[in-house]
Amino acid sequence: MAINHFHLTAKERDKMSFPTNWLLRNHLIKGKVLDFGSGHGTDVKELKKRKFNALEYDPYYHPQFPDEKFDTILCHYVINVLEKEHELRIIMRISKLLAENGVAYICVRRDLVREGYRTHKVHKKTTYQRNVNLPFKSIYKNDFCEIYSLQRFVDRESDASCIFCKPTNKSNYIAESPNLYCIYDAYPVSKGHVLIIPKKHQSDYFKLELNVQKEICEVTNLIKKYLDKKFHPDGYNVGVNIGEVAGQSIFHVHVHVIPRYKGDTPNPKGGVRHVIPDKGSY
């Protein structure tokens, strides 16, 4: 696989980008603002001129990762230049930075005629581009670009009776991906106990679409890295209850990621085998 010099796709501009300008004209930029993947930072400079509390983040040009929450997050043309496997990670990082009732606006290009690796016309180094379609609300589209809006799943309005379709404890929210969201368990069995939950209601893990099952695996890996950094556990149990006889009490799929610590039980041997009492030891 070629090295992707994705940062070379950032354009040096002397005026605000089209998507930020459109969002501004439609009064959608509010509160504390983050430009995620800001490139050289022109949009932030222009927003500051207009008295917005705005911050830029770019892994190459402005690499200090923010440690706060934002009411508005802008992410323009970033996902188009990243390989597919990085898309989910970027969306999760963005969602994790959203304040309660905040909105992220993700803009993607719609004028790409050739996908894959290419040699940058100016810098003569390898970059990458691909078309992107996201499962979020589209608020603007023309032949050049499309703007999606992402609001935290736990902040959306819903009349559902299922507690995972309409979560009430917003403070437990961690992050989300296109088809899943992650929260701390309200009744944790260990420090950092996380639930990974499909946004679409389904009671049976085995009836989930294969792409959602695959996404669960990817999100589990990312949550593990997050928990490693935050809580430094010594091990993990990962599991899902499927059916009443298997202990499922909320009939909306949810995967448990349970950090384990040395000494949290006298004898951990057998692990998940202990779901049937007296059968764990061998």
Residues 6+ apart with CB under 8 A from 152: 95, 98, 100, 101, 102, 170, 173, 176, 181
Distances (CA, A) of 84 to 75, 95, 149: 16, 18, 19
Asked whether the CA dihedral 153, 222, 4, 35 is positive or negative, the reply is positive
User: Catalytic: 254?
Assistant: yes
Q: Of these residues, 123, 254, 256, 274, which one is catalytic?
A: 254
Q: How far apart are CA 6 and CA 10, in angstroms?
A: 8
Q: How far apart are CA 141 and CA 150, in angstroms?
A: 16
Residue 203, both tokens: 């009671």
Please identify every residue annotated as catalytic.
Answer: 254
